[in-house]
Amino acid sequence: MSLVGRIQDELDRLKMENRFRELPEIGERSGRFIHSGGRRLLNLSSNDYLGLGDDQCLLGKYLGAAGGELARYAMTSSSSRLLTGNHKFYGEIEEFLAAWYKRQSALVFNSGYHANIGILPALSSRHDLILCDRLNHASIIDGCRIAEAAFRRYRHRDYDHLEFLLGEAQAGYRQVFIVTESVFSMDGGCADLERLCEIRDRYGAFLIVDEAHGAGAFAETGQGLCEASGCTDSIDIIVGTFGKAFASIGAYGIMSALLRDYLVNTMRPFIFTTALPPAVLGWSRLVLEKQMAMGPERSFLQSLAERLRRALKAEGFSVPGESHIVPVVMGSNDNALRAAAHLQEEGFLVLPVRPPTVPENTARIRISLRADLSWDDISRIPEILKSVNGDP
Ligand SMILES: Cc1ncc(COP(=O)(O)O)c(C=O)c1O
């Protein structure tokens, strides 16, 4: 069969299985609302956990403070960081991050995807083993696949299984790497970082924690679960992203000075790409500073999530996890599509998440909460879902 024929068959199959994806038409955003399909909907599908993405006051401050200078903050860096793209803002952000996390150094990347497909391939070799939580984000999985090291997945948050694999592997590999998300993006569950640090110590492994959904959403100063669990000092590399609670674009790694030097010299998605624009870096720096004082908003966000979880469970729904990401498991793709469509009719922008993003038969809707919501904004959701699915 020709390439075109095979592609057509594959797309037809996706349609038949209700897994065909199309890019949604998204209009203007205003605070916690977003315009889609000509309607104003409550935005429960973004990663803007602190509501800073459309903070007109902060944006005005940035544009105003930069004043005439902003025009000089180029919209492109025109080159990679190792050539002429290393704007002074990079140094300022990295110093700020290292001081905030009280660690030796930080390195800024173009995105979380760049970070995750670059770090493990740079650090590991074919003599090594990577152990990866089964529900880790696709960018982490892609990094594991690109790396020359052997790669195995342990059952989601099952640290006995991780230890079993570590025990099996101990003699056969030069170095074992453990990689996990802190807050899992698809089920809203939290990794047990204290236990992971203890396991890492006992087996002499190397621990990488992706805080994409934890940073900004947990703990007093917003470092994420590493701060909340008192593990900031002891995780070998903490990855954070600017594109979620920090309302910008890019990512960072927190690490030793030695590792930073090594990544600057060997990490391909760091070396071979155009650096971030200065205008974006200036904004990221401002948001980082601002969000540090948003501990009360973070506490509110987590208490709102707890309340919604309780209300959904009281209606009989399966609601895994324990964070501001609240998935409601619907089972079949069809059920998840129907529930999302109904919530949208009722004014809530909630999207379905289907296999292969999540395991078979656990299609779900994913409610992504934000600190600028009130309980009144979302209190009708359990009742609306019940009316679509009957008794779950
Ligand atoms: C856990 C996790 N890591 C990394 C990324 C990628 O980050 P970025 O959007 O900055 O590429 C995502 C994006 O959704 C994510 O959920």
**Distances in whole angstroms, Cα of residue 314 to Cα of each of 308, 317, 339:** 10, 7, 18
If pLDDT is split at 50, 70 and 90, which confidence band does 308 have? very high
- Ligand 1 centre distance from Cα of residue 148 (Å): 22
Min mean pLDDT across 64-78, 207-221, 285-299, 370-384 is at 64-78
The answer to whether the predicted template modeling score (pTM) of the entire model surpasses 0.85 is yes
Q: Which residue has the higher pLDDT, 151 or 388?
A: 151
Residue 26: the pLDDT is 85
- Ligand 1 centre distance from Cα of residue 368 (Å): 15
Q: Which of 195, 204, 84, 182 is nearest to 133 (CA)?
A: 182
β-pairing, 39-43 vs 105-109, is unpaired
β-pairing, 39-43 vs 348-349, is parallel
Q: What angle do CA 332, 180, 19 make, to 5 degrees?
A: 25
Q: What is the pLDDT of residues 69-118, one digit of tens each?
A: 676 777 889 999 999 999 999 999 999 999 999 999 999 999 999 999 99
Q: Which of 116, 121, 91, 127 is nearest to 106 (CA)?
A: 91
Q: Write down the mean pLDDT value for the chain.
A: 94
Q: For the chain, which residues make up each domain, given as ranges? A: 26-50+294-389, 69-291
The DSSP line for 26-43 is EEEEETTEEEETTEEEEE
Q: Which ligand 1 atom is the nearest neighbour of the CA of 136?
A: 1
Ligand 1: residue of 46, 47, 111, 139 to mutate (most ligand atoms within 8 A of CB) is: 139
Furthest CA-CA distance within the chain: 61
Question: Distance between CA 193 and CA 208 in Å, rounded?
Answer: 10
Q: Is residue 111 within 6 Å of ligand 1 at its C-beta?
A: yes
Q: Is residue 185 within 6 Å of ligand 1 at its C-beta?
A: yes
Do the beta carbons of residue 141 and residue 114 sit within 8 Å?
no
Residue 86: the pLDDT is 97
Backbone angles phi, psi at 119, to 5 degrees: -70, -55
Instruction: Name the architecture of domain 69-291.
Output: 3-Layer(aba) Sandwich (3.40)
Q: What angle do CA 371, 223, 139 make, to 5 degrees?
A: 90
Question: Distance between CA 302 and CA 323 in Å, rounded?
Answer: 6
Do the beta carbons of residue 181 and residue 191 sit within 8 Å?
yes
Q: Is residue 154 within 6 Å of ligand 1 at its C-beta?
A: no
CATH among 3.30.70.1450, 3.90.1150.10, 3.30.420.140, 3.40.50.300 for 26-50+294-389:
3.90.1150.10
Residue 238: the pLDDT is 99
- Ligand 1 centre distance from Cα of residue 369 (Å): 17
